[in-house]
Structure 1
Amino acid sequence: MSQDTVLIEQFLDSLWLERNLAENTVQSYKLDLQALVKSLQRQEETILSAQTMHLQDFLMQRVQEGYKATSSARLLSAIRRLYQYLYREKYREDDPTAPLASPKLPKNLPKDLTENQVEALLQAPSTAEPIDPVELRDKAMLEVLYATGLRVSELVGLEINDVSIRQGVIRIIGKGNKERLVPLGEEAIYWLEYYFKYGRDDLLKEGPVDVLFPSRLGKKMTRQTFWHRIKYYAILAEINVEALSPHVLRHAFATHLLNHGADLRVVQMLLGHSSLSTTQIYTHVATERLKKLHQQHHPRA
């Protein structure tokens, strides 16, 4: 194992222990830093010998390869944290990332669905006789997702013990291992009970598992698989797939709550955002929709 690899592993361990970052974030950092090491090797440099110009060359190369500003920003964040760690632990006497400017990010609003589009998406899975356990599972997943605003990773990671049908709540372990309780609502509870009664057991081909929504093989579903399922139902519902994202129902959950008068801090708590500023972007979505409605229907718009 090279010295660069050892340093990266030590850094990632410290991130996990001290910052309590989600596993997905740590893995993203690892891939970014492995790409940095390869670039430095081509320049005959290492993490400890690299200077600002070497890091600039790497970042410029990524831009030329067509990476978006958001990807470059995340990459620079990973590199900054690495060198701050190396400086703090006295592996280096300087921080070569200090002169680097962060890329300007476009203020992209979350992709949003109207309430009618959400209703069409929720109705897309077939629940008619004979019951298809996969479609019934997907129906329950979509209903839970829209009712709770979970992240997709939180949804596919749910276990049986995380759900209390009697209390009507779901327990989420979110980013940074922070726990929150989110109410389910009557519709989601109904479809969960229906799924437990008529669908879930048929998916458990390899025996009992704790995961709430198992795959066709009776194992934990991946985020990618569920994203493919969302796109499939979007096509059935005649929704433009280009207008979707994996978190489209999470975004709709937040925007529709705000449209109906929910308090921003309540939405923040339900979404599991550590900062209110992260939640505030959904107020912009709601405002944009109000502007469009005003332009369409007001006689002097």
Structure 2
Amino acid sequence: MINNPYLSSFKSYLKLERSLSVNSIEAYLNDVQKLFQYFESIDKFPHIKEISPEDLKLFISWINELGMLPSTQARVVSGIKSFFSFLLLEQVITEDPSALLETPRLARKLPDVLNIEEINGLINAIDASKPEGMRNKAILEALYSCGLRVTELITLRISNVFEEQEFIKVIGKGNKERIVPIGQSALKYINIYLQESRVHISVKKGYEDFIFLNRLGTGLSRISVFTLIKDLALKSGLKKSISPHTFRHSFATHLIEGGADLRAVQEMLGHSSITTTEIYTHLDRDYLKGILKEFHPRS
């Protein structure tokens, strides 16, 4: 790693002021390291204050020539911009050389979505006779009912479920809290799991308030939820490539296609920007074909 006196301060800023995860911090630092590696490769070692917009444009050309995917290039540019914004904030520099730096245009990929029959097929594929069966039903119901990220699901706490009011408190990215409504079906299966299955688990210290536990009495891992979803897709004969996030996509898409307000969906998903939520405003292609055939005079 190339040492730079400003990197440790930038790391502290990301951790303390922006409350980013360890993985996110490492990604930002690696992005800035690439800039220093570029200067090293051309035997140029400017002071931070001397880096110009032209230097950064040449750097972007360099990473492009390395064969980086546009999505990776976009992430690197984001990291560089954050670094110089930090230096501006700390008054290390007086002008931001990255201000006009453009990210590569990315094609917006529509996420895979499950229909309700496919979701029911996955839930029905769960073997309810097994000790973890009711827990797994509750997991799928919660993912689809609340549009949770997988980390939000595995850290969901009993004390954050408000059954009478029919909502849950979720701790999302950056430790931001949000309130999300929860459906009757999800509440039903969570209660059955808590009252009939979880009570038979010897809970380890520190996990008493976690809803979803493994057989050892500790919290579930992210990979265990991914594995569960993949196994159920195989059992139910589903050909789509899915993950826990597919339930979040389906939750958002079904709400918006049903007429839900975009701002309300943004709030439930915990998106900081409405632009992120807008990806779910696509309509099913078959539905669009049907509209064309039914109403266009030349179809």
Is the TM-score greater than 0.5? yes
Give the equivalent residue in structure 2 for 1:157: 155
1:52 and 1:99 in contact (8 A); partners too:
no
> What count of residue pairs does the alignment treat as equivalent?
292
Q: CA RMSD in A?
A: 3.1
The DSSP-based 3-state class of the residue aligned with 2:110 is coil
Which residue identity is paired with 2:162? S
Using a 3 Å threshold, how does the CA distance of structure 1 residues 170 and 137 change in structure 2: closer, same or farther? Answer: same
Q: How does 1:99-118 map to 2 (within 5 A)?
A: 100-118=101-119
- Distance (Å, rounded) in 2 between the aligned partners of 1:87 and 1:266: 35
Using a 3 Å threshold, how does the CA distance of structure 1 residues 11 and 288 change in structure 2: closer, same or farther? Answer: farther
> Displacement, 1:58?
5.1
Which residue identity is paired with 2:217? G
- Distance (Å, rounded) in 2 between the aligned partners of 1:36 and 1:216: 46
- Distance (Å, rounded) in 1 between the aligned partners of 2:273 and 2:247: 20
Q: TM-score, normalised by structure 2?
A: 0.82
The reply to whether residue 168 of structure 1 matches residue 166 of structure 2 is: yes
Q: How does 1:60-71 map to 2 (within 5 A)?
A: 60=64, 64=67, 67-71=68-72
Which residue identity is paired with 1:59? I
- Distance (Å, rounded) in 2 between the aligned partners of 1:261 and 1:57: 44
Q: How does 1:1-301 map to 2 (within 5 A)?
A: 3-4=3-4, 7-21=6-20, 25-34=24-33, 36-37=35-36, 41=40, 48=47, 51-52=55-56, 55-56=59-60, 59-60=63-64, 64=67, 67-92=68-93, 95-98=96-99, 100-127=101-128, 129=129, 131-133=130-132, 135-204=133-202, 206-207=204-205, 209=207, 210-242=209-241, 244-284=242-282, 286=283, 288=285, 290-294=287-291, 301=299
2:143 and 2:244 in contact (8 A); partners too:
no
> Displacement, 1:181?
1.6
> Displacement, 1:71?
2.5
> Displacement, 1:113?
1.4
- Distance (Å, rounded) in 2 between the aligned partners of 1:202 and 1:28: 41
1:12 and 1:30 in contact (8 A); partners too:
yes
- Distance (Å, rounded) in 2 between the aligned partners of 1:292 and 1:58: 44
Q: Deviations over 1:130-187 (max 9, x none)?
A: x322x33222111001000112221122122222234322101223433222121111
Q: TM-score, normalised by structure 1?
A: 0.81
Which residue identity is paired with 2:253? T
Which residue identity is paired with 1:235? L
The percentage of counterpart residues that share the same residue type is 34
The DSSP-based 3-state class of the residue aligned with 2:6 is helix
Which residue identity is paired with 2:191? E
> Displacement, 1:199?
2.5
> Displacement, 1:240?
2.3
The DSSP-based 3-state class of the residue aligned with 1:199 is helix
Using a 3 Å threshold, how does the CA distance of structure 1 residues 260 and 187 change in structure 2: closer, same or farther? Answer: same
> Displacement, 1:200?
2.2
- Distance (Å, rounded) in 1 between the aligned partners of 2:115 and 2:281: 15
Larger mean CA deviation between 117-126 and 195-204 belongs to: 195-204
- Distance (Å, rounded) in 1 between the aligned partners of 2:157 and 2:254: 27
2:118 and 2:238 in contact (8 A); partners too:
yes
- Distance (Å, rounded) in 1 between the aligned partners of 2:196 and 2:235: 23
Unaligned runs of 5+ in 1: none
2:112 and 2:249 in contact (8 A); partners too:
yes
Larger mean CA deviation between 215-224 and 261-270 belongs to: 215-224
> Displacement, 1:225?
2.9
- Distance (Å, rounded) in 2 between the aligned partners of 1:186 and 1:152: 20
